[in-house]
Homo-oligomer: A and B are copies of this chain.
């Protein structure tokens, strides 16, 4: 990609900045993620960083992109731990990997997944951002696998609220129309449940009742499986 020497050096510095920022984030928390601190630990003047980033916000946005790439790779690796003959197992592997990564990287999680839409909007496939789509397609892909392998009981289109059907049609068109709307509902519900379970645990908002939420997480996964293995009636 980077042909000329200059471009290579520039990319290296950019990477070093992001790496330093990342290290600062995990070591000192989000409040320490400051332009001046990054410059300081790199032996640079704060002003110098503005040759590489438009400002503080742009820098953390770039970091979110990196995080999203990293977690996408992690999920794919976890997914490929399980063979294609067991797509449900692949989904479970993804979910568990998502939880474990998030618990191991709470700061990054907060930055990337628990920010308002003001900031970089992400989900499993975000409006803006290529990284987001990649992240989302990992999930969507395995749902397609599951459906192809063994269809389960999903509501027919005319059993869904009309308002929902309209939105799902749009979403389906955007994602290649590979799945029935009912499967998209399962996909979205699954993502919402996973996101919620992980977020509440990362924030510690379950500590009032459970010191170790893992069994509850597994129970949620079991319920998710149950919903997706009801035979077609």
Contact = CB atoms under 8 A, between A and B. Distances in A.
Interface of A: 29, 106, 110, 113-118, 121-127, 132, 136, 160-161, 163-164, 167-168, 171, 184-185, 188-189, 192-193, 195-197, 199-200, 202-212, 214-216, 218-220, 223, 227
B188 A216 contact: yes
B118 A208 contact: no
Given A189-B219, A192-B216, A200-B192, A123 B207 contact: yes
A211 B192 CA distance: 15
B197 A116 contact: no
Nearest to A203: B116
Given A116-B203, A161-B218, 14 more contacts: A29-B118, A113-B205, A114-B199, A114-B203, A117-B204, A121-B204, A123-B207, A124-B208, A163-B212, A171-B210, A188-B216, A189-B216, A192-B220, A196-B199
Contacts of A227: 223
Contacts of A164: 210, 215-216, 219
Taken together, the copies of this chain in the complex come to: 2
Contacts of A204: 116-117, 121
Q: DSSP majority for the A interface? A: helix
Given A106-B116, A116-B106, A161-B215, A123 B206 contact: yes
A132 to B, nearest CB: 7
A203 B167 CA distance: 19
Contacts of A211: 167
Nearest to A210: B167
A116 to B, nearest CB: 6
